[in-house]
A and B are shown apart, each in its own frame.
Chain A
């Protein structure tokens, strides 16, 4: 009798917790959707921030995220390949692996401050490059860890079979092992991209923001997330509406990229 009662209590408690969690999630999504959709109009996609639109912000955010990906993916993948394939699990490798894991949970504002000291403060102005570098630093540990983990799932027999056929180690790694882990690594890259596209803190004082359309990465660079942060603090309703619309669009973008990642793994995994 006691056991049955306990069972019911636990069941009710865990169901309640789940419901509370999900309620908040849907509350956020619902508010975002209602406020976002009601503030959205075609104009915001064709005007820049200076004219009450977010065109330049979307372009700027994606540009910085793409540059960050171009920097972060090769570096992260090479580091991951070294960790898994070349380090022979030495002590140095385990130190680097741990450091990389610590980096992954480093507060993003700290990364922003670091890049500020490195690239903004010495030249005395914000720049798109600084923003991209900050995002790349956010991305690298995620890519390292995904590459490392995905390569560890490739059976060692596959490497041995390649070597036994007369392949050199680097060819087997690049042509067979990485290829065998391709789906997992691609998913990791997508998720890392989804992670950095929504980041604000690393951009706040690296790229800062720009109300005008620009492709000059040496200048202050338009950022969607920083704009949301700024707009939400403005007193006028128009700015806050724009912030809601921008938040909604950002959420949709992140959601879409995440779903794409899920879809990739489900398809081939």
Chain B
């Protein structure tokens, strides 16, 4: 790995369609390879908005406005390209295959467990049955859910528990072997035991990919992440190694937030 920064956000601003003011103002933030970057901040601070820009999922709704650069490292020739420049649907699809996303509520598709994981692969053009089976198995094993589902791969995914569904969604994203995985409050709808399982899985996954996680839970950020970004009212207030943010923040605002004085 020649370069450590896999995604570099530079002077990035974002305005929702029809909104008078931008929701994000001049954000500068690096995402390091094989590390977990956490984004924390009170509700409405823009952390989810920023996360959703990183795979351009905002483009599902028309009229939003991007400014600045979000540079993604192209691992093949070691150069960066600005994902905000992408226009064609094909290019965006390719981007989303490289930058996966997990949502707050588990989002299993109304199909079997196997087909859920195979769905993204099929979209990506994998047709060979043995290859599909192999990749699905690997993804399920890598997402710590294989033992729970191996005997019922053909059952509907809707019958799994919330925590299992979330791990299935992670398996579904991981099956495409993305370079970055975006997690939008992935455990806020889950019980403590399922949360523990997801956190363990996420720490395990960083060996293979880079992770950006949005969380409301500061313990989770401090437990999991290597770097933490604190955001407030659409601005990045402070970014540093996680222990620095939590033990020795530079900004008064950050200190107030991590110590629970507001938020």
Residues of A within 8 A of B (CB): 88, 155, 157-169, 171, 175-176, 179-180, 182
Nearest to A168 among chain B residues (CB) is B89
B120 near A165 (CB under 8 angstroms)?
Answer: yes
Nearest residue, chain A, Cβ from B59? A163
Q: Are B97's CB and A166's CB within 8 A?
A: yes
A180's nearest neighbour on chain B, judged by CB, is: B110
| B62: nearest chain-A partner, CB-CB | A88
Q: Which B-chain residue is minimally distant from A159 (CB atoms)?
A: B60
User: Judging by beta carbons under 8 Å apart, are B62 and A164 in contact?
Assistant: no
Query: How far in angstroms is the closest Cβ of chain B from A217?
Result: 38
Query: When the two chains form the complex, which single residue of A157, A163, A165 contacts B176, counting CB atoms closer than 8 Å?
Result: A165
Question: Which residues does chain A contribute within 8 Å of B94, judged by CB atoms?
Answer: 166
Instruction: Evaluate contact between B123 and A171: CB separation under 8 angstroms.
Output: yes
Report the number of A-B residue pairs with Cβ-Cβ less than 8 Å. Answer: 66
Known: A88-B62, A159-B60, A171-B123. A164 touches B100 (CB 8 A): yes
| B residues apposed to A, CB below 8 Å | 55, 57, 60-62, 89, 93-94, 96-97, 100-101, 103-105, 107, 109-111, 119-120, 123-124, 169, 172-173, 176
B57 touches A164 (CB 8 A): yes
Q: State whether A155 touches B105 (Cβ < 8 A).
A: yes
Question: Which B residues touch A157, using CB under 8 A?
Answer: 103-105, 107
Q: Which residue from chain A places its CB closest to the CB of B173 in the assembled complex?
A: A165
Name the CB-closest residue of B to A179: B110
Nearest 6 interchain pairs by C-beta: A161-B107, A164-B101, A165-B120, A166-B97, A166-B96, A180-B110
Q: How far is the CB of A57 from chain B (nearest CB, A)?
A: 40
Q: Measured between C-beta atoms, what is the minimum distance from A75 to chain B in Å? A: 25
List, in ascending order, chain B residues with CB within 8 A of A179's CB: 109-111
Name the distance in Å between A163's Cβ and chain B's nearest Cβ: 6
Q: Which residue of B lies closest to A167 (CB)?
A: B123
Which residues of chain B come closer than 8 Å to A165, judged between CB atoms?
A: 96-97, 100, 119-120, 123, 172-173, 176
Distance of A86 from chain B, by nearest CB (Å): 11
Bound complex: CA of A165 vs CA of B124, how far in Å? Answer: 9
Q: Which residues of A contact B57 (CB under 8 A)?
A: 160, 163-164
Residues of A within 8 A of B97 (CB): 165-166
A164 near B96 with CB under 8 A, answer yes
Contacts of A175 in B (CB 8 A): 119
By beta carbon, the residue of chain A nearest B103 is A157
* B115–chain A nearest beta-carbon distance, Å: 10
Q: Which residues of A contact B120 (CB under 8 A)?
A: 165-167
B60 to A160, Cβ gap below 8 A? Answer: yes
CA distance A161 to B110 in the complex (A): 12
Contact call A158/B60, Cβ cutoff below 8 A: no
B105 contacts A176, C-beta separation under 8 Å: no
Taken together as a complex, chains A and B put the C-alpha atoms of A168 and B96 apart, in Å, by: 11
Other than the given A164-B173, A167-B93, 10 more pairs (CB < 8 A) read A157-B104, A158-B109, A160-B103, A161-B101, A165-B100, A166-B120, A167-B120, A175-B119, A179-B110, A182-B110
Q: Which residue of A lies closest to B99 (CB)?
A: A164
Chain A residues with CB under 8 Å of B105's CB are 155, 157
Other-chain residue from B61, B103, B109, B176 in contact with A166 (beta carbon distance below 8 A): B176
Contact of A166 with B60 in the complex, beta carbons under 8 Å: no
Interface centre among A157, A159, A161 (most CB of B within 10 A): A161
- Point out the residues of chain A lying under 8 angstroms from B109, CB to CB: 158, 161-162, 176, 179-180
Return chain B residues, CB-CB under 8 Å to A182: 110
Contacts of B172 in A (CB 8 A): 165
Residues of B contacting A180 in the complex (Cβ-Cβ under 8 angstroms): 109-110
Report Cα–Cα, A151/B116, bound state, in Å: 20
B2 to chain A, nearest CB (A): 26
**Shortest distance in angstroms between A226's beta carbon and chain B's nearest beta carbon?**
42
Q: Are B55 and A164 in contact (CB under 8 A)?
A: yes
Cβ of B120 to closest chain A Cβ, rounded Å: 4
